[in-house]
Structure 1
Amino acid sequence: MSINEILTITIVLTAVFAYINHRLIKWPPTIGIMVLSLLSSMLLVIFGNFHSMLSDKAVQLASSINFREVLLNFMLSFLLFAGAIQIDAGKLKKERWPVLALSTLGILISTTLVGGMTWGLFGLFHLPIPFIYCLLFGALISPTDPIAVLAILKTAKIPSSLELKISGESLFNDGVAVVVFVTLLDAAGSGVSAVDFLAVGRLFLQEAVGGLLFGGLLGYIGFYALRSIDDYKVEVLVTLAIVMGGYLIASHLHVSGPLAMVVAGIITGNKVKDEALSDTSRDYLDKFWELVDEILNAILFLLIGLEMLIIKINMTVLLIGVLSVLTVLLARWVSVFFPVLLLRFKIKFEKHAVAILTWGGLRGGLSVALALSLSPAMHRDEFVLITYMIVVFSILVQGLTIGKLAKRLQRT
């Protein structure tokens, strides 16, 4: 299937599903589109024999799209930058300790707990999978996905301080999660005994700290460039260059592109918009990145739904996936509870903060992309199916109920 066909069919399907959702279902756009995409995929799987040509074309489309490449090397940079532009730096500074604790200590706790419980579940069903691969799964499923979180929190109507904690955590925990994932991936390939902890520390500094510094550099380059002109068309192009060029350079420098985009986006959304742009330019920039955010989110959630067509189903693994939904939620609760407990002496948390932070920790396309990056020898098919089930539950069930849960808890 040619690139033109892939793009055309993807955009047309996204537009059709978005229209149906807007007119009939009226759910948050990302959830509505994913539900329709999932239902369409299920119907094609069930009735594929009766409409073999249509089913074959759909499977061909899903197989032609490298989900990992599309998300990690293209869409993620735009979506993180667009999300970070919306963050108020002043308010984020007030929440810096909860965000830092949840995006570091929380990730490590969750990775360990999920890895251990997943290993136990596989053993319970007599599927002996090495513990290191289960830890890899813990690392890829633990980070809350900024794309899913930011898209759904817009309509959740939870307390603004809690919303900022969740969105801030989801934007910053990618760097830590990816470093943990890459480290475990290396350990799985070379043997746990060969892990050099000094090398792990250097990798963390290079990826995470390097990404933060590089993002700051990008943001200030953009600031000085935009301050010297007053033409909204050129200014929008400059921000595009920051995202596309910056992400590409970050990959060559081996620093965290996602963290760089978050920092550059926060600087652009605060210092640049406040000090370098006219009212007209600020309005155009906001609308442009809001549109990019909405369109790419819609396409991403369509692709998540279409992935069902090419995921290999195994009934035993399916049952493990159902149980894994519970274990991941339990691990999320523990990984929120302990950082909150440690910080309660210094910071006042909102009522029922642990419950809302637990239920609001959504998983999304990032986890699916990381699962797809595993090799077949690392039991990729099993972990992709389990990851997919957790992501679908997270977005559909948690995403649709987080607002109602927060409202009900606030009454008690």
Structure 2
Amino acid sequence: MLQGTMFNTFTIGPILYGLSNLGLLGRLQLNPTPGAPPYHLAITECLVFSALISAVDPVAVLAIFQEVGVNKDLYYLLFGESLFNDAVTVVLYTTMVTFSEMSSIPSEQYLLATLGFFTVSLGGCCVGVIFGLLTALLTKATQDCRVVEPLAVLGVSYLSYLTAELFHFSGIISSTCDAIIFLFLGMVLVSDRHVWHTGFVLWTLFLCLACRFLGVFLLTSLANTFRVRRINLQEQFVMAYGGLRGAVAFSLVEMLEADTIPPRQVFVTTTLVVILFTVFIQYTVNLCAALSVTRRVGACSRTALAHVVSSTRSTSAQP
């Protein structure tokens, strides 16, 4: 659902900008000096934030679907979205940050942004294919020395990530490492650099949910006109509810520079709140069982979080 990510980006951002101009977000005070005027968000700043907050965490979503055992159609619909979602998000994010640094945006920049999307996403795919073929050739030549094969596979996989990043392609498509990112997230969460803005946080939470549901229902309704097996209402609801935010959104917001995006700390705090809300509220609801979504035979009915807790208890109980 590449269109879904773009839909969220170009709905959340302009709506936040409109709410800011109407004064419905509340007073945004970045300058602590008494009597300083309030800060007014620019449209490019709102689009930067909407681009990074639209990134759905593929690891969390697919982990939930794997544990609750949803049917294959629903699983692969979300898998397809997760596969290319990161590339779209990174291109939109970098484009909006670049636009924020410009006093005026020339018309040719819009064409370059469009070409950049295809370069990053297709470039990442090409790098993955090339190194996949290289791995196949290497393992074909090591039939008499199997001990080398795991090292070759891991080494080439990491090399594909470095190559993709070297050419500014989507290294996220080539490889992901959420453990280190979430460790960093925990460290940032307990820092004292947060700037809380109730209006911005609450409106962002509402818009993330509303735009996600609206985008999923519109796009799946359009897709149903061409599908043999229609996506039913329960599956549409699960797809919309599965829009968890995580490592990608946090990584992008941490990359912002305060010189380019003055409300950076407000964006960081809001992103952390959205991540915590989606993980600890949405992640703990066994929605598939509640909506009677068709599941695989013998699939577990627990949530992914309940499965992790249960596995931890079982491991600790062993002598």
Structure 2 length-normalised TM: 0.79
Deviation at 1:406, TM superposition (A): 1.5
After superposition, the Cα gap between the structure-2 partners of 1:261 and 1:303, relative to the gap in structure 1 and judged at 3 Å, is closer
Aligned equivalent of 1:49: none
Say if 2:7 and 2:215, in contact at 8 Å, map to a contact too. yes
- Number of residue-to-residue matches in the alignment: 274
Question: Given the alignment, which residue of 251, 261, 277 partners 1:393?
Answer: 277
Question: Given the alignment, which residue of 215, 223, 233 partners 1:343?
Answer: 223
Aligned equivalent of 1:233: 147
Deviations 1:129-153 (A, max 9, x none): 1111011111001121123323443
Aligned equivalent of 2:72: 160
For 2:117 and 2:141, locate their aligned partners in 1 and report how far apart those are by CA, in whole Å. Answer: 36
- 1:225-374 correspondence to structure 2 within 5 Å: 225-230=138-143, 231-261=145-175, 297=178, 300-310=181-191, 312-315=193-196, 317-347=197-227, 348-374=230-256
Matched, 1:207 2:120: yes
Say if 1:142 and 1:177, in contact at 8 Å, map to a contact too. yes
Deviation at 1:250, TM superposition (A): 1.3
Question: Match for 1:304: what amino acid?
Answer: L
Deviations 1:57-114 (A, max 9, x none): xxxxxxxxxxxxxxxxxxxxxxxxxxxxxxxxxxxxxxxxxxxxx1x21111100111
Aligned equivalent of 2:81: 169
Deviation at 1:342, TM superposition (A): 1.4
Structure 1 length-normalised TM: 0.62
For 1:178 and 1:298, locate their aligned partners in 2 and report how far apart those are by CA, in whole Å. Answer: 20
For 1:311 and 1:140, locate their aligned partners in 2 and report how far apart those are by CA, in whole Å. Answer: 22
- The CA RMSD over aligned residues, in Å, is 2.2
Question: Match for 1:175: what amino acid?
Answer: A
Say if 1:351 and 1:410, in contact at 8 Å, map to a contact too. no
Deviations 1:249-277 (A, max 9, x none): 11222222123349xxxxxxxxxxxxxxx
Q: Which ranges of structure 2 fall in alignment gaps of 5 or more residues?
A: 29-39, 295-319
Question: Match for 2:13: what amino acid?
Answer: G
Question: Match for 1:312: what amino acid?
Answer: R
Deviations 1:162-181 (A, max 9, x none): 12222331122111111111
Deviation at 1:312, TM superposition (A): 2.8
For 2:27 and 2:180, locate their aligned partners in 1 and report how far apart those are by CA, in whole Å. Answer: 39
Deviation at 1:161, TM superposition (A): 2.0
Deviations 1:228-286 (A, max 9, x none): 22344321111211222111111222222123349xxxxxxxxxxxxxxxxxxxxxxxx
Aligned equivalent of 2:305: none
For 1:233 and 1:400, locate their aligned partners in 2 and report how far apart those are by CA, in whole Å. Answer: 41
Aligned equivalent of 2:35: none
- 1:101-120 correspondence to structure 2 within 5 Å: 102=1, 104-120=2-18
Deviation at 1:302, TM superposition (A): 4.0
Aligned equivalent of 1:19: none
Deviations 1:174-211 (A, max 9, x none): 11111111111111111452351221232122211111
- 1:179-218 correspondence to structure 2 within 5 Å: 179-191=91-103, 193-194=105-106, 196-218=109-131
Aligned equivalent of 2:291: 409
After superposition, the Cα gap between the structure-2 partners of 1:370 and 1:345, relative to the gap in structure 1 and judged at 3 Å, is same
**More helix, by proportion:** 1
Deviation at 1:160, TM superposition (A): 3.0
Secondary structure of 1:193's aligned partner: coil
Matched, 1:381 2:265: yes
For 1:383 and 1:312, locate their aligned partners in 2 and report how far apart those are by CA, in whole Å. Answer: 12
Say if 2:254 and 2:268, in contact at 8 Å, map to a contact too. yes
Say if 2:201 and 2:273, in contact at 8 Å, map to a contact too. yes
Deviation at 1:396, TM superposition (A): 1.1
**Identity of matched residues, %:** 28
Secondary structure of 2:190's aligned partner: helix
Q: Which ranges of structure 1 fall in alignment gaps of 5 or more residues?
A: 1-101, 263-295
Question: Match for 2:203: what amino acid?
Answer: L
After superposition, the Cα gap between the structure-2 partners of 1:111 and 1:212, relative to the gap in structure 1 and judged at 3 Å, is same
Say if 1:150 and 1:167, in contact at 8 Å, map to a contact too. yes
Matched, 1:141 2:141: no
Deviation at 1:394, TM superposition (A): 0.9
